Every structure is written in C-alpha cells, then in structure tokens.
C-alpha cells in the first residue's frame, strides 16, 4: 500500500451535513494525497479521481461528467495539452485564448460558464457538457502551469461554494507539485 493517507471514504463524505463540510473533507483528503509527493502527473491523476468519484457517489447520474487537468506544454508556445482526467475522451490540444480553458490562461482568471453554448468559441469535447468551470493552476513561483477543468451535464451547475472549492484544489496541487 502507498505512503499516503486513505482518501475520505464514501461513508465519511456521506456523513457531511452541508456542501461546505463535504468540500472541506474532500480538500483535506486532497492535501493528504499530495503530501510529500512532488510528481505533478500523479497528483493531478489522484485528485481527478478523488473529486470525480466523490461527485459520482453523491448523485447518480453525476452532476459532473468531466474532471481533470490540461497542462502547459513547454515544447510549444502558449498551448495546453491534455493531462490526467476522468470522464470521456477529450480534445488533446488547446491554444491559449481559445475556448473556456484557453481563455482562463490568457486572462489568468477563473472562468465560470453557466451555459457553454453561449460562450464564444467554446470547444465541445463532450456533447453532454452544459456548464463549466476552469481554474488556472499556478506553481509556487506564480507561474501558470495548467488549468483545472470541470464540466457538468446541467446548465448553471456551479455556485460560489463550488467555485471556491475548485480554486482551493487548484492551489493545493499547484503548490504541492513540481512542474516542468
């Protein structure tokens, strides 16, 4: 077994009495999973799993259909390349400035999109996606290293509490990992 704490169990998460508490438990698990592990791929992979599987257990069908990371490709200029994720097969490359992910990079700002079909230049990777949040991920030096991308099959799925939690997660992985 690995040198990391057990993630928050289904029963522990199910015991949360508010969305705030639920996210609190998840973020505590996220911090634990990355503790002492600098590998950014392993961290992005496990955190995608932690959150995607938690949403899946919370509701069926899940209110999240894609959860993962795009990473800045250092071999290219201003381009994201697909990183670890859970959900259906996705677009591989996204230039900065294009779609919701690319806009998060060019503006260095979280994008909350209640209706992706109304977003100019939206890149439809999974046709069931209706709303989306994209959070820039920066490293300890404040350098952009990727984005956290979360899609929902429901319009207007993300409220302020969701967005705050996703921003906290992006900060955890950004600071915990070493990035190329």
- Give me the residue label for tokens 């670890």: 84
**Phi, psi values for residue 77, rounded to 5°:** -105, 120
**Phi, psi values for residue 160, rounded to 5°:** -60, -35
Residue 34-73 contact track with its own copies, rule CB under 8 A, x = bound: ---x-x-xx--xx--xx--x--------------x--x-x
On the CB side of 154, how many CA atoms lie within 13 Å of its CA?
Answer: 10
- Give me the residue label for tokens 């994720």: 85
For position 83 contacting its own copies by CB under 8 A, the verdict is: yes
Residue from 61, 108, 109, 124 in contact with its own copies (CB under 8 A): 124
| Secondary structure string (H, E, C) spanning 149-163 | EEEECCCCCCCHHHH
For position 137 contacting its own copies by CB under 8 A, the verdict is: no
Residue from 12, 16, 90, 138 in contact with its own copies (CB under 8 A): 90
**How many of the chain's residues bind its own copies (CB under 8 A)?**
34
For position 93 contacting its own copies by CB under 8 A, the verdict is: yes
* Residue 25 token pair: 């438990």
- Give me the residue label for tokens 């950004």: 174
Q: What are the beta bridge partners of residue 70?
A: 82, 147
On the CB side of 144, how many CA atoms lie within 13 Å of its CA?
Answer: 25
Supply the minimum distance, in Å, between the C-beta of residue 52 and its own copies: 8
Contact 156, 115 (CB under 8 A): yes
Residue from 2, 11, 18, 142 in contact with its own copies (CB under 8 A): 2
Supply the minimum distance, in Å, between the C-beta of residue 2 and its own copies: 3
For position 3 contacting its own copies by CB under 8 A, the verdict is: yes
Q: Choose the binding region for its own copies from 80-88, 131-139, 151-159, 169-177 (rule: CB under 8 A).
A: 80-88
Residue 88 or 163: the one with the smaller Cβ distance to its own copies is 88
Contact set with its own copies (CB under 8 A): 1-4, 7, 33, 37, 39, 41-42, 45-46, 49-50, 53, 68, 71, 73, 81-93, 123-125
């Amino acid at each position: 077994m690995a040198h990391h704490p057990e993630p928050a169990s289904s029963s522990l998460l199910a015991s949360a009495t508010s969305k705030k508490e639920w996210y609190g438990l998840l973020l505590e698990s996220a911090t634990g999973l990355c503790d002492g592990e600098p590998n950014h791929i392993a961290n992005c992979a496990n955190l995608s799993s932690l959150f995607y599987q938690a949403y899946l257990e919370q509701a069926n069908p899940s209110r999240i259909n894609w959860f993962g990371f795009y990473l800045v490709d250092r071999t290219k200029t201003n381009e994201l390349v697909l990183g670890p994720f859970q959900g259906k097969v996705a677009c591989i490359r996204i230039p900065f400035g294009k779609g919701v992910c690319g806009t998060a990079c060019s503006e260095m700002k979280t994008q909350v999109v209640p209706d992706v079909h109304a977003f100019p230049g939206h890149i439809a990777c999974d046709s069931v996606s209706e709303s989306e949040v994209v959070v820039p991920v920066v490293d300890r030096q404040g350098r952009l290293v990727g984005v956290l991308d979360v899609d929902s099959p429901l319009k207007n799925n993300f409220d302020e509490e969701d967005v705050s939690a996703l921003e906290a997660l992006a900060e955890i992985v950004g600071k915990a990992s070493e990035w190329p």
